[in-house]
């Protein structure tokens, strides 16, 4: 089964932190192509490229390691021309 990105990521404790200004946590967030296209259209139209973030604390079942799960969403922009455009892959980036 092919993995489909879902605008979700995770942050884990930075185990190789070498100085006090280094990040406490590191991780990845994988975005769908439709969200990236929508951000590109907003930039092209002079709008700001903003993602809203939500976060949850979690504990890995197999290692008991604590981590944070992140979810990204495009904020709604009232009367945005971008919100009504059809998307090539059939995904609506506002419907995460």
User: Do the Cβ atoms of 89 and 66 come closer than 8 Å?
Assistant: no
Locate 93 and state its tokens: 């980036």
| pLDDT number for residue 6 | 86
Q: Is 57 helix (H, G, I), strand (E, B) or coil?
A: strand
Question: What confidence category does residue 75 fall into, taking pLDDT thresholds of 50, 70 and 90?
Answer: confident
Res 3: pLDDT: 54
Of 93 and 20, more confident: 20
In the predicted model, is pLDDT for residue 23 greater than 80? Answer: yes
What is the reported pLDDT for 54? 95
Residues in a beta bridge with 25: 13
């Amino acid at each position: 089964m092919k993995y489909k990105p879902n605008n979700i990521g995770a942050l884990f404790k930075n185990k190789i932190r070498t100085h006090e200004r280094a990040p406490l946590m590191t991780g990845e967030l994988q975005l769908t192509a439709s969200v990236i296209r929508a951000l590109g259209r907003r930039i092209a139209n002079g709008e700001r490229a903003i993602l809203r973030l939500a976060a949850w604390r979690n504990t890995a079942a197999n290692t008991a390691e604590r981590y944070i799960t992140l979810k990204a969403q495009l904020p709604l922009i009232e009367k945005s021309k971008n919100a009504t455009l059809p998307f090539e892959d059939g995904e609506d980036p506002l419907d995460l």
